[in-house]
Amino acid sequence: MHVAFFVLLCSSLTRYLMVHPGAPATPWVIALTAALALLYILGPILGPRRTPAPGSRTPAHILWLAAVIGSWFTLVVLAPSFAWCAVPLYYTGLRSLRTRSAILLAALITACVVAGQMKLRLRFGFDPNLLFAPPAGAAVATAVFVYSQRQADRLRAVITDLVRTRRELAATERREGTLAERQRLSMEIHDTLAQGLSSQRMLLQAADRLWETDPVAARRHIRTAESIADHNLTEARRFVHDLAPADLADGGTLEDALRTLVDREMSDSLRTHFHQDGVPASALPERVQSALLRIAQGALANIREHAGAESAALTLTYLDDQVVLDIADDGHGFDPADTPGGVRGHGLPAMRVRAQQLGGTLTVESTPGEGTVLSAAIPLTPVA
């Protein structure tokens, strides 16, 4: 549009000089043309770097527009051929003013164009095109610009809503991520440090009861509590480092970690056993190994603290499409229907969440007086 304005301005001046050589008004026409060109150049240079919305121009910009239009009006009076510069000025006014003011300015510019053309062609007789064509063209140009501006405003509003929605969604995702991380940390703490501290407390209480009557057994309980404390310290350091189970560190396998866990949980009051059925076709993902080990730790902790069992058995079974970990005990059992959702306390819900995060399931079968069987099944296919 800027290039079109200067092309029309130069062509109008050239025509005037060719048609009216040596006319008395020539110096004024040349001076006004130079002034108009300079004013038009100064507008974009002195104006804001970003194009403001229509109607939000500063008073200085409105004064600039008035000077440009005034200079052009004067040129059209002196040389009607400069009326062709009206087309770029239409859009300059429409972009600078509110809709009603811009339409009034467009009507004024159109009237000046019609008057200038009628004066220029008067000697050829009346031409209806000169009277009706400029207003029709101005009306079409104004309508197209106003419609486009309204569409742009709607699009701007939609973009603003989308940006706000994206920010709100990002904030929601951050909150959900924070809550998920807190839940994950709570499960890690429950299955490691809390379980170890609970075991130490039970062993120390047993040692205190046997200290006078059976010092050997009391010292054995203290040594076991010391071993659990050492393991908990290792878990805590691993927990701070990367939250991976200590038994799986340094490339350890799930089978070795479960055997170590079973040996560590073995005591005079609870006999534990581990059995593996089948071999994995490929190495299990670290997430699956970690989840199954944590489930086994939580299940054995529940057996030791709540079941009153004499023996517990862990069975790791590799099938074609899934890996299954069964933990069975001969304790007094319970009725899963007596608690909401078939779970109780924090341990079982945490185990269920671990299995579900990997696309697996956790089932609990228990009857009062007949023990409990907990089964965690994890698919071997990746979870999206």
Q: Could you tell me the CATH number of the domain that includes residue 324?
A: 3.30.565.10
* pLDDT for the residue 49: 46
Residue 344 has pLDDT above 60, yes or no: no
* pLDDT for the residue 53: 54
Residue 305 lies in a domain: yes
277, exposed or middle or buried, with CB in 10 Å at 0-12, 13-18, 19+?
A: exposed
Per-chain mean pLDDT for the chain: 80
Residues of the domain holding 10: 2-126
Residue 228 lies in a domain: no
Residue 231 lies in a domain: no
363, exposed or middle or buried, with CB in 10 Å at 0-12, 13-18, 19+?
A: middle
Residue 292 lies in a domain: yes
Q: At what angle do helices 59-78 and 99-121 cross, to 10 degrees?
A: 10
- 363 and 374 Cβ atoms separated by less than 8 Å: yes
What the block records as the tokens of 367 is: 């009857």
Domain end position, chosen among 85, 101, 126 = 126
User: For residue range 159-176, what is the model confidence (pLDDT) as tens digits?
Assistant: 999 999 988 888 888 788
Residue 54 has pLDDT above 60, yes or no: no
Q: Confidence class of residue 126 from pLDDT cuts 50, 70 and 90?
A: low
Please count the structural domains in the chain: 2
* pLDDT for the residue 187: 74
Residue 153 has pLDDT above 80, yes or no: yes
Specify the range with the lowest mean pLDDT, choosing from 72-86, 274-288, 305-319. 72-86
Other C-beta atoms closer than 10 Å to the C-beta of 81 total: 20
Specify the range with the lowest mean pLDDT, choosing from 139-153, 314-328, 343-357. 343-357
User: For residue range 198-237, what is the model confidence (pLDDT) as tens digits?
Assistant: 888 888 888 888 888 888 888 888 988 888 888 878 777 7
Q: Confidence class of residue 326 from pLDDT cuts 50, 70 and 90?
A: very high
Residue 75 lies in a domain: yes
| Average pLDDT value for residue range 175-196 | 75
Domain end position, chosen among 91, 126, 161 = 126
Residue 128 has pLDDT above 70, yes or no: no
- 298 and 196 Cβ atoms separated by less than 8 Å: no
User: For residue range 99-109, what is the model confidence (pLDDT) as tens digits?
Assistant: 777 778 778 88
Domain end position, chosen among 96, 126, 156 = 126
Tokens 């229509």 belong to 54
Q: Which of 384, 184, 200 is nearest to 294 (CA)?
A: 184
Give the list of residues 6+ apart from residue 286 with CB closer than 8 angstroms, or none. 244, 248
* pLDDT for the residue 56: 54
Residue 325 has pLDDT above 90, yes or no: yes
- CB burial of 106-120 (b: ≥16 within 10 Å; e: otherwise) equals beebbebbbbbbeeb
Other C-beta atoms closer than 10 Å to the C-beta of 104 total: 13
Tokens 């003013």 belong to 97
Residue 48 has pLDDT above 60, yes or no: no
